[in-house]
Amino acid sequence: MLSPEFAAGRDSALSTLNSALDYLESLQGSGIRPGLGRIRALLGHLRRPERAYRSIIVAGTNGKGSTSATIASILEESGYKTGLYTSPHLVDIRERWRIGGRDLDEELLEQSVEQLRAAAEAIGITPTYFEALTVVAFIAFSLAKCDVAVLEVGMGGRLDATNVVRPIAAVITPIGFDHMEYLGNTIPKIAAEKAGVIHRGAVVLTSNDDAVVLNILRRRAKKFDNRFIAVDGEHQTPLAGPFQRCNVALAVSTAEELRGVLPKITPESIERGVANTLWRGRLERMRVRDKTIWIDGCHNPHAIKAVIPFIRDRIETPRLLVFGIMGDKDIDAVTRDLFPLFDRVITTEPFPPRSADARALAGAARAMNIGATALRVPHEAFSAAMRAPEHAIFIGGSLYLAGAAIEFFDSLSE
């Protein structure tokens, strides 16, 4: 039986954590408001926690997360205390901030949110949700005395909340169409926004092979006399999918370029870091009962095209797709490429009301002569998939759906 003192302490800690999470959740309705004025004001009041360590910033359309995770793993294996900031989270919000390869602990999260909240109240600013999460990252990494932080850009680059640092490296993964209402409706416009993370003093590395994109990035790097490296190649990785080999090659090249600034990086620590990289929800394979389940957060045409060869060549038939996607994505392009790879589709809504309508998605599948069922609640869709005759199940279309799937199937595996 718990002592009254222990129980009271536990309840108090839980209350404090819930208060911190409630505050962050209250900002969800603040929307997307591009601009750096608010976050700069907050960080100025907090005495610039983002300057307490070196930073590496990772922008692009797809592959940012796995590239960031690989860089962070290499730095950890090299002996550097490393903070990793990514988005979105799949199951637990603490996944967004990792220190030393572990999710941010509750006490440090509480301290960081409290500092953020006090600063926001003191200067009369209400940050957006993503701005708040970014400031929490800067505070937490400072309090933890990190040596270096790896920061995944949320959207775009030039006006993204992460783009208040002066990084030692600006890493840019492949660029495609996404968030066009904010970034522009052409590749040159989107590339120019992504190039905004390039600042004086940063080595610039990219895995883009589009000549137009490369020219835009190269011009921005030249403006600051920065070293520019176009990474062309692959590197072995435990992460599934041929495209991951390109992401890892970019991460490895970044680590190699930074050895002059971070001298503890060695060829051996690079290989250990690559081998030990974990990145859930990206072509993640699970075996549950008699089903082989693949979970991937593919959510735009570029990401879909990257996973199609893997689905076609590596996943047995007959295949069942569980699919849900946000309503602001290029749904026609995604479904046109993805649905024909499957014998049957179950559609769902991972994040209402922003999700595309499950019934409309099922209708699109039927128009392609593919059997389809609409189940709006993701857990109902997963349960139906487990009862289905198909043994190969692919779950994709949204990172929110990937997170829900991981939570569901992890509970079945326990």
pLDDT digits (tens, 9 = 90+) for 344-379: 999 999 988 889 999 999 999 999 999 999 999 999
* Burial class of residue 179, CB neighbours in 10 A (0-12, 13-18, 19+): middle
Query: Can you give the three-state secondary structure of 54-120, one letter per residue?
Result: EEEEEECCCCHHHHHHHHHHHHHHCCCCEEEECCCCCCCHHHHEEECCEECCHHHHHHHHHHHHHHH
Are 283 and 294 in contact by the 8 Å Cβ rule? The answer is yes
Domain boundaries of the chain, sorted by first residue:
14-275, 284-413
User: For position 176, what pLDDT does the model report?
Assistant: 82
Residue 401 corresponds to which amino acid?
Answer: L
For residue 192, is pLDDT > 60? Answer: yes
Are 217 and 204 in contact by the 8 Å Cβ rule? The answer is yes
For residue 156, is pLDDT > 90? Answer: no
State whether the Cα torsion 316-318-324-330 is positive or negative: positive
- Residue listed under structure tokens 């030393």: 100
d(CA 48, CA 135): 10
d(CA 245, CA 30): 37
CATH superfamily for domain 14-275: Mur-like, catalytic domain (3.40.1190.10)
The pLDDT tens digits for 212-252 are 999 999 999 999 999 999 998 878 877 777 778 899 999 99
Choice between 176 and 132, residue whose per-residue pLDDT is larger: 132
User: For position 233, what pLDDT does the model report?
Assistant: 81
User: For position 301, what pLDDT does the model report?
Assistant: 81
* Six-digit token string for 76: 């950890």
User: For position 96, what pLDDT does the model report?
Assistant: 96
Residue 304 corresponds to which amino acid?
Answer: I
Choice between 242 and 396, residue whose per-residue pLDDT is larger: 396
Helix runs in 262-351, H state only: 267-275, 301-314, 331-338
Are 154 and 130 in contact by the 8 Å Cβ rule? The answer is yes
User: For position 31, what pLDDT does the model report?
Assistant: 72
Around 267, how many Cα atoms within 13 Å sit in the side-chain half-sphere?
0
- Residues 246-270, mean pLDDT to the nearest whole number: 97
For residue 279, is pLDDT > 50? Answer: yes
- Residues 16-26, mean pLDDT to the nearest whole number: 90
User: For position 7, what pLDDT does the model report?
Assistant: 47
The pLDDT tens digits for 23-79 are 999 998 777 788 899 999 999 999 999 999 999 999 998 889 999 999 999 999 999
- Residues 377-392, mean pLDDT to the nearest whole number: 97
User: For position 2, what pLDDT does the model report?
Assistant: 46
d(CA 341, CA 320): 9
d(CA 40, CA 369): 53
* Helix/strand/coil percent split, the chain, to 5: 50, 15, 35
User: For position 65, what pLDDT does the model report?
Assistant: 92
Helix runs in 102-234, H state only: 106-123, 129-143, 180-183, 187-194, 211-223
Please state which of the four CATH numbers 1.10.520.20, 3.20.80.10, 3.40.50.11900, 3.90.190.20 is assigned to the domain occupying 284-413: 3.90.190.20
Q: How many CB atoms lie within 10 A of CB 31?
A: 8
User: For position 181, what pLDDT does the model report?
Assistant: 65
* Six-digit token string for 48: 């610039």
For residue 9, is pLDDT > 70? Answer: no
**Whole-number percent of the chain with pLDDT over 90:** 78
- Residues 70-94, mean pLDDT to the nearest whole number: 96
- Residues 181-186, mean pLDDT to the nearest whole number: 74
* Six-digit token string for 35: 């601009």
Residue 21 corresponds to which amino acid?
Answer: L
Mean per-residue pLDDT of the chain: 92
User: For position 6, what pLDDT does the model report?
Assistant: 40
- Residues 258-268, mean pLDDT to the nearest whole number: 97
Rounded to the nearest angstrom, the gap between the alpha carbon of residue 21 and the centroid of all alpha carbons in its chain is 20
